[in-house]
Amino acid sequence: MRVLSGIQPTGRFHWGNYFGAIQQYIALQDEDEVYYFIANLHALTTVRDPKELRELTFDAAIDLLALGLDPNRATLYVQSDVPEVSELCWLLMTGAPMGLLERCHAYKDKKARGLRADTGLFAYPVLMAADILAYDADAVPVGEDQVQHIEVCRDLAGSFNHHYGTVFVLPKAVVLENAARVPGTDGEKMSKSYNNTLALFEDPKIQRKQIMRIQTDSRPIEEPKEPAGDVLFDLYSLFADDSEREAMASLYRRGGFGYGEIKKQLADAAEQFFRDARQRRVELAAKPDLVREILGDGATTARKKAGMVLRRAQEACGIR
- Tell which one of 16, 125, 171, 227 touches ligand ADP (CB under 6 A): 16
CA 155, 161, 167, 172 torsion-angle sign:
positive
Interaction between residue 191 and ligand ADP (CB under 6 A): yes
Interaction between residue 182 and ligand ADP (CB under 6 A): yes
Which CB, 20 or 298, lies closer to ligand ADP? Answer: 20
Interaction between residue 311 and ligand ADP (CB under 6 A): no
Contact region with ligand TRP (CB under 6 A), list: 6-14, 26-34, 65-73, 305-313: 6-14
Q: Which does 189 bind (CB under 5 to 8 A by kind): ligand TRP, ligand ADP, none?
A: ligand ADP
Q: Are 59 and 97 in contact (CB under 8 A)?
A: no
| 51 carries an active-site annotation | no
Separation CA 43–CA 136 (nearest Å): 23
| 192 carries an active-site annotation | yes
| 189 carries an active-site annotation | yes
C-alpha distances in angstroms, 180 versus 22, 67, 145? 12, 18, 12
Alpha-carbon 169 to chain mean position: 22
C-alpha distances in angstroms, 32 versus 1, 20, 233? 6, 23, 37
Count of other CB atoms within 10 angstroms of residue 210? 16
Q: Are 182 and 233 in contact (CB under 8 A)?
A: no
Which CB, 171 or 303, lies closer to ligand ADP? Answer: 171
Interaction between residue 141 and ligand ADP (CB under 6 A): no
DSSP annotation of 21: I
Interaction between residue 126 and ligand TRP (CB under 6 A): no
Q: Which does 10 bind (CB under 5 to 8 A by kind): ligand TRP, ligand ADP, none?
A: ligand ADP
Using DSSP's 3-state secondary structure scheme, residue 182 falls into: coil
Interaction between residue 17 and ligand ADP (CB under 6 A): yes
Please choose, from the candidates 238, 242, 181, the residue with its C-alpha nearest in 3D space to the C-alpha of residue 211: 238
- Tell which one of 73, 110, 111, 192 touches ligand ADP (CB under 6 A): 192
DSSP secondary structure letters along 29-62: TTSSEEEEEE-HHHHTTT---HHHHHHHHHHHHH
Q: Which parts of the chain are beta strand (E)?
A: 2-7, 33-38, 75-78, 139-141, 172-174
- One of 51, 110, 172, 209 is an active-site residue; which one? 110
Which CB, 38 or 240, lies closer to ligand TRP? Answer: 38
Please choose, from the candidates 75, 8, 35, the residue with its C-alpha nearest in 3D space to the C-alpha of residue 294: 75
CB environment 294-304: b (16+ within 10 A), e (fewer)? bbeebbeebbe
Contact region with ligand TRP (CB under 6 A), list: 50-58, 124-132, 225-233, 235-243: 124-132
Residue 320 beta carbon to ligand ADP: minimum distance, rounded to whole angstroms: 34
Q: Which does 231 bind (CB under 5 to 8 A by kind): ligand TRP, ligand ADP, none?
A: none
Count of other CB atoms within 10 angstroms of residue 72? 6
Interaction between residue 69 and ligand TRP (CB under 6 A): no
- Tell which one of 81, 145, 244, 271 touches ligand ADP (CB under 6 A): 145
- Tell which one of 3, 4, 7, 313 touches ligand ADP (CB under 6 A): 7
- Tell which one of 132, 156, 157, 249 touches ligand TRP (CB under 6 A): 132
Residue 81 beta carbon to ligand ADP: minimum distance, rounded to whole angstroms: 20
Interaction between residue 143 and ligand ADP (CB under 6 A): yes
Rule CB under 6 A: which residues touch ligand ADP?
7-8, 10, 16-17, 20-21, 142-146, 180-182, 189-193
Catalytic residues: 110, 189, 192
